[in-house]
Structure 1
Amino acid sequence: MAMKRDAGVQNDLIATWADMPRSPGHAFYDRLNKLLSDASFDAFVEEVCKPFYAATMGAPSLPPGRYFRMHMVGYFEGIDSERGIAWGCADSFSLRDFLRLSSSEKTPDHSWLSKTRARLSHEAHEKIFDWVLKLIAERGLVKGERIGVDGSTMEANAALRTILRRDNGETYRAMLTRMAKESGIETPSAEELARFDRKRKGKKLSNDDLTSPTDPDARIARMKDGTTHLAYKPEHAVDLDTGAIVAAPIHAADEGDVATLPATLKAAAENLADINLAPTRENPCELIADKGYHSRDGLKGLADGVWKTRISEPKPAKGYLRWHGDEAARDAVYANRARLKSGVGRKAMRRRGELVERSIAHVLDRGGMRRAWLRGRENVHKRYMIHVAGFNLGLLMRALFGAGAPSKAVQFLIQSRHSED
């Protein structure tokens, strides 16, 4: 047998359809695509996005269904940036099939994703999230009886070294240089500035005094790993009977849990109302949260409303509480404590620690959203909602096919084949 020599690659002038390379198919994405097609996902998305496009004129754009599918790929594959999503889709025949691309169509690049995101409104993204929530609710994956709430932090696409003083626009480095010179260092080097910044007294990075010129919506905050960055605060409201995320607003990172809870509960109530599961005074929904959400005014405001609180209570500093005549706050705190210490309350708290933390880990860590590559809270929230919609679709895929992620689908098929053998 003669050895064949590689003479280089020469492009074919003509290629038939049979000669085109095709994907052997992907167990997860093929089933997900069929699920979306059977539910008329693309028709719904195009109807929602129709007002944002020219009616009769204009160059062909990125189809809205393909735009949302690509961001779902970002969640399922754990890709953090839109540029990475575009590259990943271009390198995979299976993902091209999921995007419903023909053999002659190019994979949309990251600039198309950016332009389409800017064109579509925040409300349009919310409608897609609501559509997915309704889809899983029809399969019994939303009960609306117990809601667990918790927040986390995500790093913004802005660096601390670029922050400016709000009063005079002075950069942080210029401020350090001025303070170092005032302390006696005439020409401070970068190392001396870093050492001076570490050891100076009264050091404080206040959001009242400092802001980012590249992302004014970002706030200085301490991350979960102990580092300090410009950040945002996503907060999840999770159905504790199924694990589905019913709301996921993004707040300013310097706002406390007590301050952000009303907005999250409002979003959760609106989304539950869209699927006919809205809490009422006659049939309230249980609210389970950790001690960061406990406050007298908050519990007093939620008393006798549509939320039945089971919020963990921090220990008082002196071992007893003083009410100063505020009987409404006293009754609300004691009622919450009684519900919390019951067997149902303890079980609900354990459930919250499992499912709410799991949703945060899936979306932020495994899903690639711990670090935002977009600027502005609205831009970040647009993409975040589609990632959360991907998480909810993963729950539905797990219920229907036994696997909620592409990697798990492969393992599931291997195990099923072994069991058949």
Structure 2
Amino acid sequence: TWQGGAEMSKFRRKDPKALQADLWIQPGELAKGPKDGFYSKLLEVLEGMDFTGQVHRLCEVHYKAGTGVGGRPPTDPAVMFKMMMVGFLEGIGSDRGIAARCADSLIIRRFLGYNLTEETPDHSSFTVFRKRLPDTVFQAAHEVVLEGLRAHGLLKGRHLGIDSSVIEANASLSGLVQRNTETSYWDYVKGLAGEAGVDVNDPAAVARFDRARKGRKTSNKEWCNPDDPDARVGRTKDGAWDMIHKPEHIVDLETGAIIAAEVRPGDAGDTADLYTRIIEAVELVEEMQGQDHAEGVSRVRSVTADKGYHNPQELGIIQNETGTRTVIGDASAASRKPANLGPEARQAVRRAARAVKSKSGKALLKKRGMH
């Protein structure tokens, strides 16, 4: 055990206030961080597949127009995509957080190709980057990554899982305006309250009137928030009403590789155009594996989802177009009357029910829950 301050004086302490920068520092003397580790291996893989070169070819046409117009040079698009990878891999949900992490880490600086003396891109670079490039470029870059995963055996494409979630939008219900007149919700309610004889100068009275009035409904067709026009009024995970988005992803259940991802409207049903999204994912997997799509025959053996994705007509199209098993439970199984369904829909429901009850189907549902 330590016996007072005398023993502690044997150790040299670091006093942050006493630190003084050297006048001259050789580049080779700067700290570089460990040479092995995840990001070093990832950089090695990306360099082996010429990730930077492929990204440059995808983005080149969108950067030519800005050449020679003044201002600082644009950030290398390959660096921006790598920073997005960092955000995804480390679960960082904001541009500011990603920028701070990249600036603060020696190993990530090396991954991005930045020396310790160089400034890494700040959060505003993400906004410029997203505005400059169309969605098709981001999709093409995603396919470049998928090809790399396939080359390293991380894209099997035999069993796909689909799931969606709910995220709160960067907008509030208090900022709603009518789509046609741009009248704010509060002004709209005050107008109704005035017609009903309520004192519009009393906010509490107007609020009570709004809560009690008949036909009170906030329709997404009629109302929006100008701060985020794509946001929709809907229920959050805790059951409260708010402005929301609905992100959805399709993954390879064997490896966890994300095949497709999109942010859907918050009021969109899971089953709406389900077959379109599934068939596009199946065709992408087949393209990555060098296989031509043929109706009723596919490399993809199964598609797994929760009961919210069950729709007899959609299941029938998926099964017939791709030939895959649909491991999707029926939330209305107890009340559903098969006689009310057409022959194809009835057969699709039976196939899905058998798949869910099978041993392999239960295993796939368990795997889907992990992603």
TM-score class normalised by the smaller sequence = 0.7 to 0.9
In the alignment, the residues of structure 1 paired with residue 301 and residue 311 of structure 2 have an alpha-carbon distance, to the nearest angstrom, of 19
Paired residue secondary structure (1:140): coil
In structure 2, the residue matched to 1:36 is 46
In structure 2, the residue matched to 1:315 is 332
1:47 aligns with 2:57: yes
1:292 aligns with 2:308: yes
One-letter code aligned to 1:287: V
Give the C-alpha shift of residue 212 in structure 1.
1.9
1:166 aligns with 2:188: no
In structure 2, the residue matched to 1:399 is none
Larger-Rg structure: 2
In the alignment, the residues of structure 1 paired with residue 359 and residue 33 of structure 2 have an alpha-carbon distance, to the nearest angstrom, of 53
In the alignment, the residues of structure 2 paired with residue 344 and residue 123 of structure 1 have an alpha-carbon distance, to the nearest angstrom, of 36
Give the C-alpha shift of residue 24 in structure 1.
4.7
Decide which moves more: 208-217 or 334-343. 334-343
1:217 aligns with 2:230: yes
1:226 aligns with 2:213: no
Higher RCO, Cα 8 Å, sep 6+: 1
Q: More helix per residue: 1 or 2?
A: 1
Structure 2 counterpart of 1:339, from 355, 358, 362 = 355
Give the C-alpha shift of residue 131 in structure 1.
1.4
Contact 2:199–2:206 (Cα < 8 Å) also in 1: no
In the alignment, the residues of structure 2 paired with residue 104 and residue 229 of structure 1 have an alpha-carbon distance, to the nearest angstrom, of 44
In structure 2, the residue matched to 1:238 is 251
Give the C-alpha shift of residue 44 in structure 1.
1.6
Give the C-alpha shift of residue 36 in structure 1.
1.9
One-letter code aligned to 1:84: G
Paired residue secondary structure (1:107): coil
In the alignment, the residues of structure 2 paired with residue 18 and residue 343 of structure 1 have an alpha-carbon distance, to the nearest angstrom, of 59
Structure 1 counterpart of 2:103, from 66, 84, 90 = 90
In the alignment, the residues of structure 2 paired with residue 131 and residue 5 of structure 1 have an alpha-carbon distance, to the nearest angstrom, of 48
In the alignment, the residues of structure 2 paired with residue 6 and residue 345 of structure 1 have an alpha-carbon distance, to the nearest angstrom, of 59
In structure 1, the residue matched to 2:126 is 113
Superposed CA offset, 1:242-290 (max 9, x none): 2222111222111101104133213312321331265642346312222
Distance 1:116 1:56, change over 3 A: closer
Paired residue secondary structure (2:251): strand
Give the C-alpha shift of residue 103 in structure 1.
3.6
1:247 aligns with 2:257: no
TM-score by length of 2: 0.83
In structure 2, the residue matched to 1:144 is 157
Contact 1:181–1:188 (Cα < 8 Å) also in 2: no
Give the C-alpha shift of residue 207 in structure 1.
0.6
Distance 1:91 1:240, change over 3 A: closer
Distance 1:263 1:228, change over 3 A: farther
In structure 2, the residue matched to 1:330 is 346
Paired residue secondary structure (1:259): coil
In structure 2, the residue matched to 1:273 is 286
Q: How does 1:353-392 map to 2 (within 5 A)?
A: 354-355=369-370, 358=371
In the alignment, the residues of structure 1 paired with residue 214 and residue 304 of structure 2 have an alpha-carbon distance, to the nearest angstrom, of 41
Give the C-alpha shift of residue 11 in structure 1.
6.2
Distance 1:89 1:5, change over 3 A: closer
Paired residue secondary structure (2:320): coil
In structure 2, the residue matched to 1:203 is 216
In structure 2, the residue matched to 1:305 is 321
Distance 1:81 1:340, change over 3 A: closer
State the superposition RMSD in angstroms: 3.0
In structure 2, the residue matched to 1:393 is none
In the alignment, the residues of structure 1 paired with residue 167 and residue 95 of structure 2 have an alpha-carbon distance, to the nearest angstrom, of 17
Contact 1:26–1:94 (Cα < 8 Å) also in 2: no
Give the C-alpha shift of residue 195 in structure 1.
4.5
In structure 1, the residue matched to 2:147 is 134
Contact 2:55–2:77 (Cα < 8 Å) also in 1: yes
Decide which moves more: 79-88 or 249-258. 79-88
Give the C-alpha shift of residue 315 in structure 1.
3.1
Give the C-alpha shift of residue 296 in structure 1.
2.5
Give the C-alpha shift of residue 199 in structure 1.
4.2
Contact 1:248–1:264 (Cα < 8 Å) also in 2: no
Q: How does 1:3-22 map to 2 (within 5 A)?
A: 14-18=24-28, 20-22=30-32
Q: Where in structure 1 are there 5+ consecutive unaligned residues? A: 359-421
One-letter code aligned to 1:308: R
Contact 1:249–1:264 (Cα < 8 Å) also in 2: no
Distance 1:331 1:26, change over 3 A: same
Q: Where in structure 2 are there 5+ consecutive unaligned residues? A: 1-8
TM-score by length of 1: 0.74
